[in-house]
Amino acid sequence: MPSIYDTITQQLGGANLTQLSQQIGADEATTSQAIQTALPMLLSGLARNASAPGGADALSSALSNHADGGAISNLGGLLGNPQSGGGAGILGHIFGNKRDAVEQGMGTATGLGKPQMSKLLMVLAPIVMAYLARRHQQPQAADAPPSGSGELPQILEHEANEATKKAPSVLGGLIGMLDRDGDGNPLNDITRMASGAGGLGGLLGGR
């Protein structure tokens, strides 16, 4: 079964990449790299939330709102109007009060400005949720993490790890460079990049 990362990066190619690039006001190469950076961050954020007390049940409930795959079936509408997919609310749940810092730091890391990164994340967030809902409903291969609300942390950890492993080869080691403290979590380093110091601490309750 293809990973969520692979599925989304393939879908957001060709004409869809052209439309998305025009929507956020960036060239296609920069937009593609930003997608490949953003997906591991979104999946890692969801994994952290799902691992928190009550987080898996809350996420399972939220996924029921994306079970119809609207962000996938109406991708053109979402690309044309990023506000239409409820991305702002999803990002608020994933990143909490660190959202501005994440968008600023990721924008700096990828060459996009904060408004461009914000718009890109608003497109990606409902797509990730739609594919996660689909992944959650599918029968699993013998070597894959099982489905069920109690297994969402394992599913997301698996997806986040798959995305993070693939992103450095595409971005020339950007993810590894951002993980300056070597803890395997580049998210807290992105937050520090946005603040210009270590004062913000780890993202999403990170280390």
| Per-residue pLDDT, 174 | 44
Q: How many CB atoms lie within 10 A of CB 11?
A: 14
| Per-residue pLDDT, 82 | 87
Closest by Cα among 1, 4, 20, 28 to 123:
20
| Per-residue pLDDT, 203 | 37
- Rounded distance between C-alpha atoms, residue 38 and residue 128, angstroms: 11
Per-residue pLDDT for the chain (207 aa), expressed as one digit of tens each? 789 999 999 999 999 999 999 999 999 999 998 998 899 889 988 888 888 788 888 888 777 766 555 678 788 889 998 888 889 999 988 888 888 888 888 888 788 989 999 999 999 999 999 888 888 776 544 444 444 445 888 888 889 888 888 774 434 444 444 454 555 555 555 555 444 433 323 334 443
| Per-residue pLDDT, 183 | 54
| Per-residue pLDDT, 98 | 82
pTM exceeding the 0.95 threshold for the entire prediction: no
| Per-residue pLDDT, 15 | 95
| Per-residue pLDDT, 111 | 85
Alpha carbon of residue 86 to chain centroid:
14
